[in-house]
């Protein structure tokens, strides 16, 4: 082989390294995100036909509240707090002081369920990290 061929191959090799380094793939950190693969509400008394139920005793004297706890997998998820709570089937009542219609229960972003009147509500927790998982529990406040 001639020296000129080896020299040309060397120049092309070095040029390709420079081009790939300059124009190469950019690494995005969201490529390495660990999504929640399982979420489960742990606040329940019983499971009937696959549905979770929680019973809460209503108090006329003090505020009635319960925290909805949950666990998730894997434990090294990138955003373990990427969840949202929601209520459905919430009855309303007419407030005696101002005459406005108000919900019998509300839930905070931290999972605290507050009851103002006796009611049955369905609490659902959903992941918001892109994995679109959910779990529900029917809470009966009597």
List the chain domain ranges.
Answer: 33-141
pLDDT(142) > 70: yes
pLDDT tens-digit profile of 2-24?
778 888 888 888 888 877 777 77
Considering the four listed CATH numbers 2.60.40.1080, 1.10.260.40, 3.30.1540.20, 2.60.210.10, the one that applies to the domain covering 33-141 is 2.60.40.1080
Query: How far is residue 140's CA from residue 138's CA, in Å, rounded to a whole number?
Result: 7
CA distances from 69 to 2, 6, 41, 83, 132 (A): 75, 68, 6, 12, 18
Reported confidence tier of residue 121, pLDDT bands at 50, 70, 90 = very high
Report pTM: 0.74
Residue with tokens 């690494």: 27
Q: 3-state class of 9 per DSSP?
A: helix
pLDDT tens-digit profile of 69-104?
999 998 888 888 889 999 998 999 988 888 899 999
| Average pLDDT in the chain | 88
């Amino acid at each position: 082989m001639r020296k000129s061929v080896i020299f040309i191959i060397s120049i092309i090799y070095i040029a390709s390294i420079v081009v790939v380094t300059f124009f190469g793939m950019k690494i995005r950190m969201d490529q390495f995100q660990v999504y929640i693969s399982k979420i489960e509400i742990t606040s329940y008394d019983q499971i009937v036909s696959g549905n979770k139920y929680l019973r809460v005793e209503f108090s006329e004297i003090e505020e009635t509240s319960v925290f909805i706890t949950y666990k998730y997998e894997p434990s090294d998820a990138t955003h373990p707090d990427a969840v949202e709570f929601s209520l459905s089937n919430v009855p309303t009542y007419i407030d005696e002081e101002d005459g406005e219609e108000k919900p019998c229960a509300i839930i905070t972003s931290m999972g605290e369920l507050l009851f103002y009147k006796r009611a049955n509500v369905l609490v659902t927790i959903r992941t918001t990290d892109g994995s679109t998982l959910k779990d529900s529990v029917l809470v009966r406040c009597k």
